[in-house]
Amino acid sequence: MPLAEAFQPATTHADLGEEFYDVVAPARFPQHVLRWRNRRWDRRVGLDTLTDAEWIEHFGKFEPLPGSFPAPLALRYHGHQFRSYNPDLGDGRGFLFAQMRDLRDGRLLDLGTKGSGRTPYHRGADGRLTLKGGVREVLATEMLEALGVYTSKSFSLIETGEALQRQDEPSPTRASVLVRLSHSHIRIGTFQRFAYFKQHDQVARLVRHCCAHYIHEAQRQDEGEQVIAFYEAVVRRVARLGAQWMAAGFVHGVLNTDNINITGESFDYGPWRWAPSYKPDFTAAYFDYGGLYALARQPEALLWNLARLGGCLLPISEEERLQAALEPFEAELHATFTRQVLWRLGLASAGEEADAATVRALYQFLLDSQAPLDRVFFDWRGGDAERARRSPIADLYAGAGFAQVKDAFAAHRPAEDARLDHPYFARPEPCSMLIDEVEALWAPIAERDDWSLFQAKIAAVAEMADALGSATLPP
C-alpha cells in the first residue's frame, strides 16, 4: 500500500554534512514481531496507510522511507556522564532513520532508533535493546504524554527473535528494536563535541541550523544576537521540561548532557521511576549512589547541563550575555511547575500569589505526610472534597496537616477543562506507573508471552489522558 499523499519526508539533518554523522547499516534480525505501533502519531505523520507487514519492512528491516534518507545516520556527539566528560560517545546502538513533517503543525520530526545494531560508537556493546527495555520505554512515554510532559513518542516496537545477555536482568532475555519519534535528536552533547575539537565554526553552523529548523523564535539577522536568542530559548524550554517532570513525580534517572536535547523534549528512557510519594532524594538508577539525579535535584542537573551548553557558545558570543540568558531558568521552572500542578489538579488560576501559595502548601503536606502522589492528585481533581472523603486516605485529609491545603484549594474554581464528569474520575483508584506495576505486567510477558496486562495498562493510561485532556495540550 502506498504512503498517504499527505506524507512529507525530509532529509534536513543531512544538510549539516558528514562532520555531524556517520552513514551506517542496520542490523539484520532473525524475526520480526510487531508489539507496538503508535496509532495516534502514525496518522499525524501520514504513515497510517502502511499495513503491519509494510510497517515491519520500514521499522524492523529499515527499508528507507520514500523521500527520506537513503541510509541511516549515526549521530556524533560527546557528553558529561554523571559530570565526567566522555569523548567516546555517539549513537552506539541507534541511528537517525528518517525525517518528516508533522501534518498538524508542519514542524520537523525525527525517527530515531534504539537497538538497531552496532555503529562506530558501540564501544564493545552488542548494539541491541532488550524487549523489556523497549516495553519500559513505551510505558514511560505514554504515561508522560498523558501527564502533560513534552516527551518523545514510542513510535514502534518490534521483537527481533534474538537472545541477549545482560548483567542487570535474567539472561538470556528477549530482544527488540524501538523507533522513537522526536522533534530533534540534537543534544547539548552535539555542541560539546565540536567545542571539544575547537571547531567553533561548526558550533555556529549548528546554532544556525537549530534556529532555522527547530527554534524559529530565536532567528535573528545578526548572528551574535541569534546565538543569545538561541541559548535563552533552550534555557526556557529545558526549564519547562524539568518543571513538567517534577509535577508528574517522574525521575528520568540519567540526566547526562547527551540526554538533553535543544528542543527541551524528554527522551532516552533507561532506569526511570515514578516516585510513589514526594521524597526529594528519591532516585531511579541503582548506580546513582550519590543521588545526583534524584527527584528534587533534577532542576539542578538541568541547569548544570545548560551551563555546559553556554560554555560551548562562549567562543562565538559574550560571557556576560550568555550568563544573563541563563538567569531566567529558575523563574521559568517555578512558573511552569505552578501551572502544571494546577493543571493536574484541574484548578483554575486564582492569581500568581495565590497559585504559588497553593502549590507550596500542597507540597509541604506531601512531604510531611508521604501521601501517595497519584492518589492525592486524583482525589482532589477540581477541588472535589466529596471524592476526597471517599478516598482510602481520607483520614490524612481530615488531619491538621491538610488544613492549609484545603484553605488554599478554596481560593480556586475548577478549571473549565477539568472534565470532572469523565468516567475516569469515578474509578476507585488512579492510573499509576510505579515500578512494582511495571514488573508485574512484564512477568507474564516473560513467562508465557501474555501481553494482556500491558495492553490493559496502555488502555488505562489512554483513559487518563482523555480525562486530563492532555491530548489537547500543545506538544
pLDDT for 315-344, tens place per residue? 999 999 999 999 999 999 999 999 999 999
The model's pTM is: 0.96
What's the pLDDT score for residue 25?
Answer: 97
What's the pLDDT score for residue 5?
Answer: 83
Q: State the Cα–Cα distance between residues 110 and 136, nearest whole angstrom.
A: 21
Residue 366: which residues within 8 A CB-CB, separation 6 or more? Answer: 277, 278, 373, 376
Q: Please state, rounded to an integer, the average pLDDT across all residues of the chain.
A: 96
Q: Looking at residues 47-74, what average pLDDT do you find?
A: 97
CB 469 within 8 Å of CB 419 = yes
Q: Which amino acid is at 319?
A: E
Q: How many CB atoms lie within 10 A of CB 461?
A: 20
Supply φ then ψ for residue 121, to 5 degrees. -110, 20
What's the pLDDT score for residue 320?
Answer: 97
Residue 165 Ramachandran class (φ > 0 left, ψ -120 to 50 alpha, else beta) = beta
Q: Looking at residues 437-449, what average pLDDT do you find?
A: 97
Which residue pairs from 382-386 have beta carbons closer than 8 angstroms and sit at least 24 positions apart in sequence?
Answer: 382/345, 382/346, 382/347, 382/414, 382/415, 382/418, 382/420, 383/345, 383/346, 383/347, 383/409, 383/410, 383/412, 383/413, 383/414, 384/414, 384/420, 384/425
Q: Is the pLDDT of residue 384 over 60?
A: yes
Band (471; pLDDT cuts 50, 70, 90): low
Residue 474: which residues within 8 A CB-CB, separation 6 or more? Answer: none
What's the pLDDT score for residue 171?
Answer: 82
Q: Is the pLDDT of residue 127 over 60?
A: yes
pLDDT digits (tens, 9 = 90+) for 32-51: 999 999 999 999 999 999 99
Q: State the Cα–Cα distance between residues 212 and 61, nearest whole angstrom.
A: 32
CB 283 within 8 Å of CB 291 = yes
Percentages of the chain per state (helix, strand, coil), in multiples of 5? 50, 15, 40
CB 119 within 8 Å of CB 93 = yes
CB 69 within 8 Å of CB 294 = no
Q: Is the pLDDT of residue 472 over 90?
A: no
Q: State the Cα–Cα distance between residues 184 and 99, nearest whole angstrom.
A: 10
pLDDT digits (tens, 9 = 90+) for 3-37: 778 899 999 999 999 999 999 999 999 999 999 99
Grid coordinates representing 91?
549513537
Which residue pairs from 442-448 have beta carbons closer than 8 angstroms and sit at least 24 positions apart in sequence?
Answer: 442/132, 442/135, 445/131, 445/135, 446/132, 446/170, 446/173, 446/174
Higher per-residue confidence, 123 vs 74: 74
Which active-site residues does the annotation give?
258
pLDDT digits (tens, 9 = 90+) for 224-244: 999 999 999 999 999 999 999
Band (124; pLDDT cuts 50, 70, 90): confident
What's the pLDDT score for residue 475?
Answer: 47
Q: How many CB atoms lie within 10 A of CB 107?
A: 14
Band (1; pLDDT cuts 50, 70, 90): low
Q: Which residue has the cell 531558568?
A: 329
Q: Angle CA(338)–CA(340)–CA(346) in degrees, nearest 5?
A: 105
Q: Looking at residues 64-72, what average pLDDT do you find?
A: 97
Q: How many CB atoms lie within 10 A of CB 388?
A: 22
What's the pLDDT score for residue 65?
Answer: 97
What's the pLDDT score for residue 4?
Answer: 73
Q: Looking at residues 114-143, what average pLDDT do you find?
A: 95
Grid coordinates representing 192?
560539546
CB 130 within 8 Å of CB 165 = no
Please name the residue ranges forming H helices in 214-276.
Answer: 223-248
Element (H, E) at 56: helix 52-59
